[in-house]
Amino acid sequence: MRKAGRHFLQIPGPSAVPDRILSAIGQQTIDHRGPDFAKVGLRALNGLKTIFKTEENVFIYPASGTGAWEAALVNTLSPGDRVLMFETGHFATLWKKLAEKLGLQAEFIEGDWRGGADPEKIEAYLAEDKEHQIKAVCVVHNETSTGSVSPIAEVRKAIDRANHPALFMVDTISGLASLDYRHDEWGVDVTVSGSQKGLMLPPGLSFNAASAKALAANKTAKLQRSYWDWAEMVGPNKNGYFPYTPATNLLYGLNEAVDMLHEEGLDNVFARHARHGAAARAAVRAWGLEVLCATQGQESGVLTAVKLPEGHSADAFRATTLEHYDISLGNGLSKVAEKVFRIGHLGDFNDLMLVATLAGVEMGLKQANVPHETGGVQAAMAQLS
């Protein structure tokens, strides 16, 4: 039986794609070596720089975000290099596993999954590394599994205080274009991101922004690479071209997305996400439930992970909301599997959509017999209006 009305895709990415972008993606493919393509390519490469806030290089891969994680590492490091990572949650853990798989020696500062990376611990760790064997510090900006945000500018200062030359790499796959981000100002060497979150595109594109220091590292880095190699891209990119066939139609969408973000204004986009995060947390509190992120000031505007009361399955709850209210919520991952569900409130989103989303959760809690107070939606509305 057909379900009427719009599905609410409220996982923390992919976010629902706006019609303008779907329409852009549906335009006819053109010759990726022809003169018209150069305009598309340059617009994409230059447009992305305004989003990463960088005047350095941005690289676009026809690939998922996982590919851009790999690209960041293989372009700059050599087998056996030590890499410092911070356990903010599931995705930080996956990035560490990937590093290990590539032959790096990845070291974790453990975390409790309830906040962002801790600059002080990073500083302390680096301070121990007198011989500068650690070649990179890798931090997840917006940890999609927990809804916590790492203070990237502070981590940069911590590295500087430790006087450590390690490259600074940040995954803002789910943060970019939703949360304030400043590749250059914050002194990030490699930023990793993807298309299907704040950029409002379908999945299929991912990105590296790379500082001059990172590009220099590329020249000596010995990890095996070909598809991901920045060195092959720099030349063709200058004229808007790519060393292999780019994902043309997704680039159309990317260009539309960058326009849309600037039409709203990046600061407005960030404020909107912050406001929605606050309203979502007000709802969670009103329900008498707990937000996974327990570190004040580090709660994400992109998603809110919510702990269910003991003895209740978050996945059963999610199945109920999907069936009854046609809304997709994010699941709990690894350590918090079945214990939390995640509400995505990112991308092309507004107040009424947030209320609808929270109503789906509140009515779902009732439907699934999860103990809770009513009034979450009302609390969010009070916050919004």
Site string for a copy of itself, 348-367 (x = CB under 8 A): xxxxxx-xxx-xx-xx--xx
CB 24 within 8 A of CB 344: no
Q: Give the tokens for residue 240.
A: 């808007």
- Show binding-site residues: 342
Residues 70-89 that bind a copy of itself (CB under 8 A): 70, 74
Q: Is 369 in the site for a copy of itself (CB under 8 A)?
A: no
- Show binding-site residues for substrate: 342
Candidate segments 126-134, 185-193, 200-208, 277-285, binder of a copy of itself by CB under 8 A: 200-208
Which residues does residue 210 pair with via DSSP β-bridges, in sequence order?
57, 190
Q: Closest CB to a copy of itself among 122 and 306?
A: 306
Respond yes or no on whether the N-terminal peptide bond of residue 14 is cis (omega within 30° of 0): yes
Q: Is 33 in the site for a copy of itself (CB under 8 A)?
A: yes
Q: Is 272 in the site for a copy of itself (CB under 8 A)?
A: yes
163, 220, 226, 296: residue in contact with a copy of itself (rule CB under 8 A): 226
The one-character DSSP state at 208 is: E
Candidate segments 4-12, 129-137, 283-291, 294-302, binder of a copy of itself by CB under 8 A: 4-12
Residues 90-109 that bind a copy of itself (CB under 8 A): 98, 101-103
Q: Closest CB to a copy of itself among 51 and 327?
A: 327
Strand pairing class (290-291; 134-140): unpaired
Q: Least distance in Å: CB of 277 to a copy of itself?
A: 14
Residues in CB range of 92: below 8 A, 6 or more apart: 85, 86, 111, 138, 139, 140, 143, 171
SS3 330: strand
Give Dmax (Cα) for the chain.
Answer: 65
Q: Closest CB to a copy of itself among 5 and 297?
A: 5
Size of the site for a copy of itself (CB under 8 A): 98
Q: Is 12 in the site for a copy of itself (CB under 8 A)?
A: no
165, 265, 288, 309: residue in contact with a copy of itself (rule CB under 8 A): 265
Instruction: Give 121-190 as a DSSP string.
Output: HHHHHHHH-TT--EEEEEEESEETTTTEE--HHHHHHHHHHTT---EEEEE-TTTBTTB---TTTTT-SE
140, 286, 327, 370: residue in contact with a copy of itself (rule CB under 8 A): 327
Residues 167-196 that bind a copy of itself (CB under 8 A): 194, 196
The angle formed by the CA atoms of residues 35, 39 and 45, to the nearest 5 degrees, is 130
Q: Is 46 in the site for a copy of itself (CB under 8 A)?
A: no
